[in-house]
Amino acid sequence: MGKVRTKTVKKASKIIVEKYYNSLTTDFDTNKKVCQEIATIPTKRMRNKIAGFTTHLMARIKKGTVRGISLKLQEEERERRMDYVPEVSYVDEIINRGIEVSDEVSDMLKTIGFGDLKSVTKVSHSTGHHQHHNKRRGNKSY
């Protein structure tokens, strides 16, 4: 069974991680020394709990963003991801490759005035019904 971490331990660890992120690692002993130097913690047991949770948070931060912790590093990375614009969009790639449509869809496009699109190619299917596969029941034809 796991141990219960109190609100005090979690709050102190989050504050320490936000303020002293650069001096913390994923090593408990290093984090214990950092906690001892930067904070006034009343007992050794409490210090160890805070250092342990801080180590846990640092490991989670390495994997990805952590809810409730605002790091300049995380914010910059998030902004970088949001500002990224690919050279050729995914939609343009698909259009350039060409879109294959059935006879029925091709006729629909012609009726609304889009029959002469260059990237759309008509493909006729040999079977009139679709094949569906269900893992439990096997192949079914509808």
- Identify whether residues 13 and 28 lie together within a single domain: yes
**Of the candidates 102, 106, 100, 98, which has an alpha carbon nearest to the alpha carbon of residue 125?**
102
By residue range, what is the domain housing residue 55?
A: 7-82
Q: Do 53 and 24 belong together in one domain?
A: yes
pLDDT tens digit string along 72-121?
766 777 777 777 777 878 888 888 888 888 888 888 988 998 888 888 88
What's residue 3's pLDDT? 73
Q: Is 134 inside any structural domain?
A: no
For residue 75, what is the domain's CATH number? Answer: 1.10.60.20
Same domain? For 60 and 92 the reply is no
- The predicted-structure confidence for 40-54, as pLDDT tens digits, reads as follows 888 999 999 999 999
DSSP 85: -
**pTM for this structure?**
0.51
Q: How far apart are CA 109 and CA 103, in angstroms?
A: 10
77 and 91: one domain? no
